[in-house]
Amino acid sequence: MARIFSGIQPSGELHIGNYLGAVQNWVRLQTEHDCLFSIVDLHAITQPYDPGALASLTLDMAVSLFAAGLDPGKCIVFVQSHVAEHTELNWLLTTLAPLGELERQTQFKDKAQRQESVTMGLLAYPVLQAADVLLYKASLVPVGEDQVQHLELMREIARRWNARYGHDFFPEPQPLLTRTKRVLGLDGKAKMSKSLGNTIGLFESPEAIWEKLRPAATDPARKTRKDPGTPEICNIFTLHQGFSAPDTVEEVAQKCRTAGWGCLDCKRVLADNMIKTLAPIRERAAALKRDPAGVLDRLRDCANRARSLAQRTIADVRGKMGLLKDV
């Protein structure tokens, strides 16, 4: 089984954009591959953040991932900072990471522009990503298109390390592009994001889901019920593809093109399917929230399993890089 590593920021409870864009795919992957999924709190602190909120946001994300269906019996779900080997390998890899390439990363340039002072942590973000993946010798990384450049840099770092210290020690990780399209927010303009207030949370009540879907943006060409629309440019159609059965998706497309129904009818069907899909997730989340100690137990157990894999890699890396054995 190929090993997969992927990470998610500790942004609190998941919304349907995270779910359709990444986590739904992870739930499927855990049955097909040897998977490690990390809540990447060390990445989160490379940007301004609230230290008083980070731990509870991390725990909320863990609850979300377990509730969404990640099962510690099938995969490893852990908090990045609980496995100290990530930071050790990060440092060892910085000795080979090409500075020019790091400075050319699009995400670095975007984020740096928005900050008053640019930190080493922000610049070295892709090196820590490389350490995350190479620590477990993962060969596949599920990524969105915006992460492909970082993955290329990761491959370059692996190549450089292998050439210098040990042929074929690290596999060059390959991208596993996610099947689901990028999910826009309910405004139909920007990417779904909590900071923009255009999301539906994974644990929202049926009433709240409908209240948010009802006014959501659709194809602007459908000014009246009689105007035909183009489903491919409507975010509600994208959401149907995530929550409705294939025959319903076909029906939606056909009724949209022929003005066979109005946008409210279309949204009502979507709301029903979304509520049905999310109901068991909401129930599991409620049970997990009643038992925070149980959630921490799962995280501890997973971190122990991740650490034992990481320690093997680090011992080999130290030896190959010529560091004196610990005494």
Q: How far is the CB of 190 from ligand SF4 (least distance, A)?
A: 18
Q: How far is the CB of 188 from ligand SF4 (least distance, A)?
A: 9
- Token pair 């992460």 is at which residue? 147
Q: Is 194 a catalytic residue?
A: yes
**Complex with ligand SF4: residue 86 or 267, whichever CB lies closer:** 267
**Complex with ligand SF4: residue 102 or 259, whichever CB lies closer:** 259
Which residue in the list 194, 212, 289, 320 is annotated as catalytic? 194
Q: Is 74 a catalytic residue?
A: no
Q: How far is the CB of 191 from ligand SF4 (least distance, A)?
A: 18
- One-letter amino acid at 11 equals S
Q: Is 320 a catalytic residue?
A: no
**Complex with ligand SF4: residue 127 or 236, whichever CB lies closer:** 236
**Complex with ligand SF4: residue 57 or 263, whichever CB lies closer:** 263
Which residue in the list 111, 137, 212, 320 is annotated as catalytic? 111
- One-letter amino acid at 299 equals L
Q: How far is the CB of 234 from ligand SF4 (least distance, A)?
A: 3
Binding site for ligand SF4 (CB under 6 A): 218-219, 222, 229, 231, 234, 236-237, 252, 256, 263, 266-267
Which residue in the list 137, 191, 289, 320 is annotated as catalytic? 191
Q: How far is the CB of 271 from ligand SF4 (least distance, A)?
A: 11
**Complex with ligand SF4: residue 220 or 280, whichever CB lies closer:** 220
**Complex with ligand SF4: residue 15 or 267, whichever CB lies closer:** 267
Residue 246 CB burial class (10 angstroms; 0-12, 13-18, ≥19): exposed
Q: How far is the CB of 262 from ligand SF4 (least distance, A)?
A: 7
- Tell me which residue of 130, 223, 204 sits closest to 173, measured CA to CA: 130
- Residues known to be catalytic: 111, 191, 194
